[in-house]
Structure 1
Amino acid sequence: MKYQELISKMTLEEKCYMLSGKDFWQTRTVKRLGIPGIFLADGPHGVRKQAGAADQLGLNASIPATCFPTAATMANSWDVDLAEEMSETLAEEMISQKVNILLGPGLNIKRSPLCGRNFEYFSEDPYLAGKMAASYVKGIQKKGVSSCPKHYAVNSQELRRMASDSVLDERTLREIYLTGFEIAVREGKPKAIMSAYNRVNGVYANESKHLLREILVDEWGFDGIVVSDWGGSNDHVAGVEAGAHLEMPTTGGDSDEELIAAVKSGMISEAVVDERVDELLSVIMQVYPATENETEFDVAEHHAMAQKAAEGSIVLLKNDKHILPLKSGAKVAVIGDFAKNPRYQGAGSSVVNCTKLESTMDIIKDFDLDVVGFSAGYDRMGKPDEALKKEAAELAKKADIVLLYIGLDELSESEGLDRMHMKLPKNQTVLLKELLKANKNIVVVLSGGAPVEMPWADHVPAIIHGYLSGQAGAAAMLKALTGQINPCGKLSESYPFHYEDTPAFHYFPSKERNAEYREGLYVGYRYYTTANIPVRYPFGYGLSYTAFKYTDLAVSNEKAEFTLTNTGSADGAEVAQLYVSMQNGKVFRPLRELKGFKKVFLKAGESRRVTIELDDKAFRYFDVKTNQWEIEGGDYQIQIGASSEDIRLTATVAIAGSGAKNPYDNDNLSCYYSGNIKEVTDASFEALLGHTIPDGKWNSDGSLDLNDAICQMYYAKSRIARLVWKIMTGIKNKSEAKGKPNLNVLFIYNMPFRGIAKMTGGAVSMDMVRGILDMVNGHFGKGFGKLVKGFFAARKTMKKAGRME
């Protein structure tokens, strides 16, 4: 151990208390031994260091920081160099605010478009997500502080996120849900990683030896620390045993004392605790020095970086008759509340208190446009407003072109809740129909962090998408609209015609305890291309103000080379994508899978020879029989394209296999061989899993346990508990009906009972929660006695915790 001498001087209590937070955001210090504490803060796209009362949902104010584009936005850039450059800037702000570990980026796979937190995640594709995440990690850690990729792993829904069990086969786990993390760890080498709230195949992620030791450490060589998501530690002792290092936030000594007792009883070896403390100290000593000195960052320079990142991520979806870019002096009407009050980030723990926020109407005067007026057009929260609609229609008649700013509002996408549908707010689509009667030349400027249905897309000549572009997104978009920059983003996720077309439609979100990943490998474009399901806009799609030609493909086992030519009259950048396909293999797989990409800038008329390497992930599959990566021998197509459905060049390469036998019984897995996974039977899913489907139903006797969610109290045996549930549900429903979901209520509503002990800083101990549960389960006297006894014990523990410095 690196710090064995220092650890030998620590008491058992000091060591155990080190493995849990000092407060909401900080680790513990040991002053007598000179062990410093470090600060962790939210911030996948900007530092969110709260100045006052701490809360996990971002409801309380934080110190001003630059709000960069969200991960969903940056993934559309497909630009790993831009991501690394932006992250270096992010690290400078960490240092100025004395933040040692930034909790991000988020790289969970976008299994369903409805996950409320998709705006924080990169892609439906693990290769793209992993490459972007690795760049974030590299950029942040260049400055001596640390990134903390999250949420490891298979965290794809917000509904009951702390109480759900993600049930999936090992191959899907490895190929889809872990590959992004693997790339981030192997290439970025983060010093921290955050475990997810949920169970994975019956075991909480924070106490899964399979995830935390066998894969993360033994296979990938991770040498950092595992931090629990806030309140995500279920059994602290089991977590430490499995490889978790830091339980956050503090439980006021409650779980620390559990760990001490476990060591004394022999339940866990002190040597294991010493190992975790040594690994934690190693990271603390690496990241602490960077924040010792006072520094400041250049606000204007960082704002410019935010704009540069936004510019590189804009996606042009439609441009009939080259209506864009707008001509000099074009007579435009600007319609849409988002043009005045921009939608630029998500809601929840990633909310950044930005240093400067630009809106379109504040800066459009700086562009060569003849603006005839502005109208909000619609109520932001979705309420019908005939006066606003009529005003907007009258304004549209006065212009040659309408710039219509629409999209998802802040509370459509938020930590703590999933979307109910893929539609835009109805009042926005009603407005669009009305405007088309007044003026056909409508350029739709979209905002939002996830796909939406677009039944109106065929009726407008142009659509351009900025996603959630951060505090400088307004200027970036206006530069794209006026041709000062050429849009060069490509979609990092598919846009289906209808939500019903999505592969997880029948399986998302969880029903009771189990989130069953019956679609297997067929996530996003892997499903649409294999099952031949048409989509509105495919993965990897994006237009430009110029055109690109692909020619002269040459391939080998190690790389693909081709010539890319800008055949248009404007300079621009193209994202060339490499897909691998094996169409006659014995092992089932999607029709094509992304295995490489490169963003190339070319001047008008310029040609360049482009090389995309084929790495160790190009031909592999995870074999559930040999329990390792294998390669099926045979002929593979190397496909070079402008999107997952726009393949321009194809060549064949023969690959030697590793010799493993087909691990599957084809007869029971026909749906997975065809890709038609919309109605997977229990028998087929069990054949994929290799075992029976675990029982995911809530307790049949009506009892509730520590890991049941508070929202389940509707069937509690206690009349008082059912009344509490009714009141909470009423508050939740009323707030949602108003278009303003109550995030605090939602967080509590979906939280398991154990979360009460994990998120109250020791004010409520686990013993007190057990008393509450007895009361909920109809044993009021017994439970009340436990509650009172636990209360006084918790006060003593909190006093001891306060002295542990």
Structure 2
Amino acid sequence: MKHFIASCVFVMCAMTTNAQQTPAYLDESLQIEQRIDDTLARMTLQEKIRVIHAQSKFSSAGVPRLGFPDFWTDDGPHGVRPDVLWDEWEQAGQTNDSCVAFPALTCLAATWNPDMSLIYGKSLGEEALYRGKDMILGPGVNINRTPLGGRNFEYMGEDPYLASTMVVPYVQGLQSMGVSACVKHYCLNNDEEYRHQVNVVVSDRALHEIYLPAFKAAVQQGKAWAIMGAYNIYKNEHNCHNQYTLNKILKGDWQFDGVVVSDWGGCHDTDQAVKNGLDLEFGSWTNGLSQGSSNAYDNYYLASPYIKGIQNGKYTTKELDEKVRRVLRLFYRTTMNRQRPHGFLCSDAHYDAVRQIANEGIVLLQNKHNVLPINRQKAKRVLVVGENAIKMMTVGGGSSSLKAQRETLPLEGLRKKLGGNIEVDYARGYVGDVTGDYNGVTTGQDLKDNRTEDELIAEAVAKAKTADYVILIGGLNKADYQDCEGHDRKQYELPYAQNHLIEALAKTTKNLVYVNVSGNAVAMPWKDKVSAIVQSWFIGSEAGNAIADILTGDANPSGKLPFTWYARLNDCGAHALNTYPGTWRNTDDKAAGFDKIIDEEYKEGIYVGYRWTDKNNIKPTFAFGHGLSYTTFSMSNLRQSAKEMTRDGKLTFTVTVKNTGSKRGAETVQLYIKDIKSSVDRPVKELKGFKKVWLEPGEQKDVDMTIDNNALAYYDETTGTWKSEDGEFDALVGNASDNIMLNSRFMLK
């Protein structure tokens, strides 16, 4: 009976279709819209209200009378979160809800390889399908504005072009499995502290040039089926029901035909939710945030209060029908999609994907005297130091916390890889977060160590004296006030006295390799005293194997930084201008339950990341786009398809890349555009193209990168449109934002 009504519609369409035309029932988009019309006409008012708000922690109701099943969401974006009870955050106690933990999205962005995004999305979609999920709450594409951002590890870096390019295949891969992406957090959710109360003050130009492009790409190119509103406030309206960002930009300018989902507890007012673009409300308790009752979900803002407003004439059903239409469209794309493939859980292919993404995303930041890769023919003893070598990182960090089927730890991976004739010893070095549990999932590790800082450092130094290599695996973790949802970092420096440990080891051995595990940059005052520095990110189930692959040279590092690594915090615009974390003021936002909000003005405007350091001639510790290899490359012979470009035309740049070293490896060619003369202030350069190319020793290839007028335009605040100006532009080509090797000039006419 479930598909009986829809089947009748198909037959009626077929009977009335002209034989010379494509039958209506073969046009999928027309077919869905006709089914929506038919369903909407049959639904009662109660059924319409039923489908636009949650009925449990992670599900919303279907329409049983018409054959629509319930709709199930789950957290991502790095794996499928373990199941909780229907109405509690406690674990459901299931034994089949483990998953493969994929690398954090900072690592994915660091691959600079859209093919990895497609594999990532498809693999995650397969896991979600097996677990019975219809929507994954991800990916996240908020901009890394400050390295203190607690949730930066879930996002794709500082550059709008890089994030835009990487998010599209992720969405396409996930949705190819009939599982909806829910791109988050729209928009301007760039820090976590007081996230419910931050009112962002930002120029229209910065909004459109920096903070919106990745969302726009996900909608217009990726065809995302859902967008999640952010907790924060913009123009004094909460972003889960914001007239400007949702109605005007998302649904108006971008013609988004999907569903706007509230972040959990992000809805604060029925009237605003009805009118300002929210379609599907999720939350925790009665008001979605802090107050509970036995019939919590019926009391959501888009539940009983909404239906009462319709019944007493406060609202018409116009907005309701539009919301329901979008939700039904989501149903037909997911739960009612009879072409949905089958899912797979914890497959070998998924673990292979994790390892491949991690290997391509790990960044070799520094390698003095070619200390890496580890020489397995000469090394007799390797010392591994640091808590992060033995600490599980798949548990914790907020809603992205997972119950991984397995997680290979760095010490384990190195011992397995080196084995045989090489002794791999271990010293703790420092003690950090030893909790190892989040939301009912526990690591089972006992990391307690009561030794003092001096005792821990003394042990590491003593063991380092007889080691051929010392591998210090440190950095951050997913505890509160580190890389974690809900709070921002309190300091740029490494925690747990790690600087003291590094300084002591650097005096003991020349072959000190520092592996930084984090989703953010950290201060490195000891940089010049360390031989090699590797950025490994939070890389999921295959973390230990991937780190061992890179350190031993079994995988040649090819990752590039997706954000600028500042030498000091005040080298970042948000901190140099004292705009973070903002200024408190009183408010009468009674619906939200706040008596104060914090205005955070983005005074740096469009100058985020390398745009800021370029403008102010600041030398970063490591630049945006930086990343080394165990081989070497040359770039030469930059040429262009024409000397001039028209606004409706395109221009292709070609560069010859050669592997001049002795190992197979990959280089990422980066194309930046500079406007020579403009009527408005513009960055020194902006990333507008890139391509990763793999080469055997001695091999060379021509790499093409094509731009159109979008690469030359800026957002004109006076007209509210994108604008480009006639004149000269430079195409700048290199392998990092601070290492431009070639340039070429062209004209826009």
1:395-416 deviations in whole A, cap 9, x for unaligned? 1011111111111122111101
TM-fit CA distance, 1:9: 2.4
Q: What is residue 205 of structure 1 aligned with on the other side?
A: 239
Cα deviation code 1:340-381 (max 9, x no counterpart): 224457600000111111013323333246125111111123
Do the aligned partners of residues 61 and 450 (structure 1) sit closer, same or farther apart at CA in structure 2, a change above 3 Å counting? farther
Q: Assess, with a 3 A threshold, how the Cα gap between structure 1 residues 149 and 400 changes in structure 2: closer, same or farther.
A: same
Match of 1:71 among 105, 108, 130: 105
How far 1:426 moved relative to its partner? Answer: 4.3
* Residue 158, structure 1, aligned to residue 208, structure 2: no
Give runs of aligned pairs for residues 274-313 of structure 1, distance below 5 A: 274-289=321-336, 295-313=343-361
Q: Give 1:391 shift.
A: 1.3
Which residue of the partner structure matches residue 443 of structure 2? none
Alignment of 1:376-395 (within 5 A): 376-381=428-433, 384-395=452-463
**5-14 or 170-179, which moves further after superposition?**
5-14
Q: What letter matches 2:408 in structure 1?
A: E
Pairwise mapping of residues 390-469 of structure 1 onto structure 2 (< 5 A)? 390-411=458-479, 412-469=482-539
How far is 1:530 from its partner? Answer: 1.2
Instruction: Answer yes or no: is the 8 Å Cα contact 1:86–1:305 preserved in 2.
Output: yes
Once the two structures are superposed, residues 55-75 of structure 1 have per-residue CA deviations (whole angstroms, 9 ceiling, x without a partner) of: 679999992111110011111
**Aligned residue identity for 1:278:** R
The residue type equivalent to 1:253 in the other structure is D
CA spacing shift, 1:628–1:271, aligned 2, 3 Å = same
1:54/1:537 Cα in 2 relative to 1: closer, same or farther (>3 Å)? Answer: farther
The answer to whether the Cα contact below 8 Å between 1:446 and 1:464 also exists between their aligned partners in 2 is: yes
- Listed one character per residue, the Cα deviations across residues 37-66 of structure 1 (whole Å, up to 9, x for unaligned) are 210100111011424366679999992111
Give the match's secondary structure for 1:92: helix
Residue 471 of structure 1 is aligned with which of 533, 538, 541?
541
Q: Take 1:265 and 1:233, find their aligned partners in 2: how far apart are those partners?
A: 22
2:614 to 504, 508, 529: 529
Flag the 1:424–1:61 CA change in 2: closer, same or farther, 3 A: farther
Output the CA distance in 1 between the equivalents of 2:344 and 2:669.
39
Distance across 2 between alignment mates of 1:258 and 1:140: 35
1:698-750: per-residue Cα shift (whole Å, max 9, x none)?
Answer: xxxxxxxxxxxxxxxxxxxxxxxxxxxxxxxxxxxxxxxxxxxxxxxxxxxxx
Matched ranges for 1:385-784 at <5 A: 385-411=453-479, 412-505=482-575, 506-512=578-584, 513-555=598-640, 556=642, 557=645, 558-656=651-749
SS of residue in 2 equivalent to 1:174: helix
| Contact 2:394 2:404 (8 Å CA) reproduced | no
Count of aligned positions:
656
Which of 320, 323, 338 aligns to 2:371? It is 323
* Aligned with residue 423 of structure 2, among 367, 371, 395: 371
Q: Paired residue for 1:93?
A: 127
User: Does residue 9 of the first structure (1) align with residue 38 of the second (2)?
Assistant: no
CA contact (8 A) 1:117 1:413 kept: yes
Would you say the 8 A contact 1:489–1:542 is kept in 2? yes
Shift of 1:290: 6.1
Partner in structure 1 of residue 385 of structure 2: 335
**In 1: Cα distance, 2:459 partner to 2:93 partner:** 37
Moved more, 448-457 or 421-430: 421-430
Answer whether contact 2:99 2:127 (CA < 8 A) is retained: yes
Q: How does 1:144-155 map to 2 (within 5 A)?
A: 144-155=178-189
Distance 1:179 1:220 in 2: 11
Query: Which of 298, 302, 322 is 1:253 aligned to?
Result: 298
Equivalent AA in structure 1 for residue 532 of structure 2:
A
C-alpha change, 1:312 and 1:323, in structure 2 (3 Å) is same
Gaps of 5+ in 1: 657-805
Distance in structure 1 (CA, Å) of the matches to 2:574 and 2:267: 28
Q: Is the 8 A contact 1:70 1:345 kept in 2?
A: no
- The percent of aligned pairs where both chains have the same amino acid is 35
Residues 607 and 59 of structure 1: CA distance in aligned 2, closer, same or farther (over 3 Å): farther
| Cα shift at 1:28 | 1.2
1:135, distance to aligned residue in structure 2 (A): 1.5
Distance 1:142 1:242 in 2: 30
Question: What amino acid does structure 1 have at the position aligned with 2:261?
Answer: V
How far did 1:335 drift? 1.2
RMSD over aligned Cα atoms: 2.1
Q: Write the deviation string for residues 673-705 of structure 1: whole angstroms up to 9, x where unpaired.
A: xxxxxxxxxxxxxxxxxxxxxxxxxxxxxxxxx
Aligned to 1:272: 319
Once the two structures are overlaid, the 10-residue window that deviates more, 236-245 or 395-404, is 236-245
Q: Could you list the per-position Cα deviations for residues 595-651 of structure 1 after superposition, in whole angstroms to 9, with x for gaps in the alignment? A: 111111111111111101114430111111111111122111111111111111111
User: Counting helix residues as a fraction of each chain, which structure ranks higher?
Assistant: 1
1:106 is paired with a residue whose SS is coil
- Alignment-mate amino acid for residue 390 of structure 2: K
CA-to-aligned-CA distance 1:90-116 (integer Å, 9 cap, x gap)? 111000000000000010001111111
Distance in 1, matches of 2:54 and 2:153, equals: 28
Maintained 8 Å contact 2:346/2:405: no
1:565 to 1:59, Cα distance in 2 relative to 1, 3 A = farther
How far, CA to CA, are the matches of 1:238 and 1:57 in structure 2? 32
3-state SS of paired residue (2:472): strand
What is the distance in 2 between the residues matched to 1:344 and 1:28? Answer: 31
Query: How many Å apart are 1:276 and its aligned residue?
Result: 1.3
Listed one character per residue, the Cα deviations across residues 280-299 of structure 1 (whole Å, up to 9, x for unaligned) are: 11111211146989854343
Q: Measure the CA separation in 1 of the matches of 2:357 and 2:568.
A: 30
Kindly provide the CA deviation profile for residues 438-491 of structure 1, in whole angstroms up to 9, marking residues without a partner as x.
222101111011000100110011111111111101111111111111100000
Cα deviation, 1:215-257, whole Å, max 9, x if unaligned, reads: 2123223211110000001223322322221000374212212
Separation of aligned partners in 2, 1:355 and 1:464: 26
Of 593-602 and 289-298, the range deviating more from structure 2: 289-298
- Contact in 2 for aligned 1:65/1:352 (Cα 8 Å): yes
> Where does structure 2 lack aligned partners over 5 or more consecutive residues?
1-32, 287-296, 435-449, 585-597, 646-650
* Residues 588 and 196 of structure 1, relative CA distance in 2, 3 Å threshold: same
| TM-score, structure 1 as length reference | 0.79
| Letter of the 1:359 counterpart | L
* TM-score after normalising by structure 2: 0.84
Question: 2 CA distance for matches of 1:365 and 1:644?
Answer: 37
Q: Aligned partners of 1:608, 1:55: CA distance in 2, in Å?
A: 56
Distance 2:253 2:733 in 1: 31
- Mapped partners of 1:56, 1:168: distance in 2: 36
Q: Matches of 1:342 and 1:311 in 2, distance apart?
A: 19
SS in 2 for 1:622: strand
> Quick one: which amino acid aligns to residue 433 of structure 1?
E
Structure 2 distance, partners of 1:345, 1:403, is 24
Is the contact between residue 29 and residue 35 of structure 1 (CA under 8 Å) also seen in structure 2?
yes
- Name the counterpart of 1:47: 80
Work out the CA distance in 2 between the residues paired with 1:613 and 1:509. Answer: 39
Task: Tell me the equivalent position of 1:102.
Answer: 136
- Cα contact 1:143–1:290 (8 A) shared by 2: no
- Distance in 2 (alpha carbons) for counterparts of 1:277 and 1:150: 21
Is the 8 Å Cα contact of residues 345 and 468 (structure 1) preserved in structure 2?
no
* Structure-2 change in CA distance of 1:574 and 1:344 (3 Å): farther
More moved, 109-118 vs 549-558: 549-558
Displacement of 1:324: 0.7
Q: 1:129 to 1:318 in 2, by over 3 A?
A: same
